[in-house]
Amino acid sequence: MSKDARPDRDAVRLKEKATHGDALFPIQFYSTSLLPTCPEVPLHWHPEMELTFVTGGRAGYAIDFNDYPAAEGDFLCIQPNLLHSARIARQGFLQTDSFVFHLNLLGGSSADQCSLRYFNPIMEGSLKLPRLISRDDALYPDVKAHFGLLTACYREKAPGYELEIKSLLFHLLRVIIASPGTCHTDSPDPHSERLRLVFHYLHSHYAEPVTAADAAGLCHITVSHFMHYFRQKTGFTFNQYLNQYRLNQSALLLTNGASVAEAAFACGFNSLPYFYKRFRESYHMTPRDFQKSGK
């Protein structure tokens, strides 16, 4: 996956590693490309909200374990703390522009009417926003127009742009919240909450020996129950997901100049032949060729 992140290129980093903007202005813009050599954004979550516009290609998104096929022109609205991923077809591609921002940017931490009626329920998941907005939706023209204004404003950074950014985000949220696709729902699935703990643990300890028993212990369920639930919700076995995440992180290290051995051992692979085999299966080239290609 290639990114023109401004300024962070690792947009698929997880909560404990990503910095979306800064504490005073917590918003970041990302341009993302998925290609056959790097076909997915792995399952992850973050406490920020994400608004994504598909500028080219198509992909299958999974948001909170529901599938959303998205194509050029579609918008995706991903609420805070929802597990989500994206994957392209074997010979496909995807290009997106995204804003990832914390609702505190708009006053989500204050005790006012907006926080009580909208921001807190959005963060808690009791106010469920439409996750896919396509050309057929009545709100589409407004969302597209203001997302374009938001992108231009962020890139130009003219004096006072911070005020305009907040104004445009308020407008976008107002339009989305007022749409027929918005609804109130029950509290989040407790199993999803547990899985977030599992992913947090995996993404913090992937360089170490990690077993399904370790993950099952976090969920306080048996290993067999955990393995079944994990595959049911993610589409991967536990070991498949862990291996793929390690490969994704090794690819980032290779892109940033690490040697093949450094990338392998830093990401939990104790055998170079095994690392070569798995890397080639995933990226359809050797680690050295991947590094030379500048993907």
Residues contacting residue 258 through CB under 8 Å, at least 6 positions apart:
266
> For position 13, what pLDDT does the model report?
38
Spacing of C-alpha 267 from chain mean position: 20
* CA torsion, ordered 245, 8, 63, 148, to nearest 10 deg: -150
Per the DSSP assignment, residues forming a β-bridge with 62 are 67, 85
In single-letter form, the type of residue at position 215 comes to: A
> For position 18, what pLDDT does the model report?
55
Among candidate residues 250, 258, 259, the one with its CA nearest the CA of residue 283: 250
pLDDT at 133 over 90: yes
- Position of tokens 């899985």? 195
Tokens of 293: 């290609």
- Position of tokens 């742009």? 161
- pLDDT confidence of 152, banded at 50, 70, 90? very high
Give the residue with greater pLDDT, 79 vs 81: 79
pLDDT at 10 over 90: no
The CATH code belonging to domain 190-293 is 1.10.10.60
In CATH terms, the superfamily for domain 2-184 is Jelly Rolls (2.60.120.10)
Residues contacting residue 145 through CB under 8 Å, at least 6 positions apart:
none
* Distances from the Cα of 283 to the Cα of 116, 161, 251, 279, 288, angstroms: 46, 40, 9, 6, 11
Alpha carbon distance 103, 50 (integer Å) = 10
Structure letter (DSSP) for residue 116: I
Domain boundaries, the chain: 2-184, 190-293
Tokens of 17: 């590693």
Residues 202, 248: contact at Cβ < 8 Å?
Answer: no
> For position 186, what pLDDT does the model report?
64
Residues 247, 279: contact at Cβ < 8 Å?
Answer: yes
Alpha carbon distance 72, 53 (integer Å) = 8
> For position 187, what pLDDT does the model report?
58
Alpha carbon distance 247, 152 (integer Å) = 35
Among candidate residues 172, 148, 179, 181, the one with its CA nearest the CA of residue 68: 181
Same fold, 2-184 and 190-293: no
Dihedrals φ, ψ of 7, to 5°? Answer: -105, 5
Strand, helix or coil for residue 24: coil
- pLDDT confidence of 291, banded at 50, 70, 90? confident
Whether the bond into 7 is cis, omega within 30 of 0: yes
Alpha carbon distance 198, 216 (integer Å) = 8
Tokens of 133: 């907005």
> For position 190, what pLDDT does the model report?
61
Residues 83, 120: contact at Cβ < 8 Å?
Answer: no
Give the residue with greater pLDDT, 1 vs 222: 222
Alpha carbon distance 282, 168 (integer Å) = 40
pLDDT at 108 over 50: yes
> For position 5, what pLDDT does the model report?
40
Tokens of 55: 């500028």
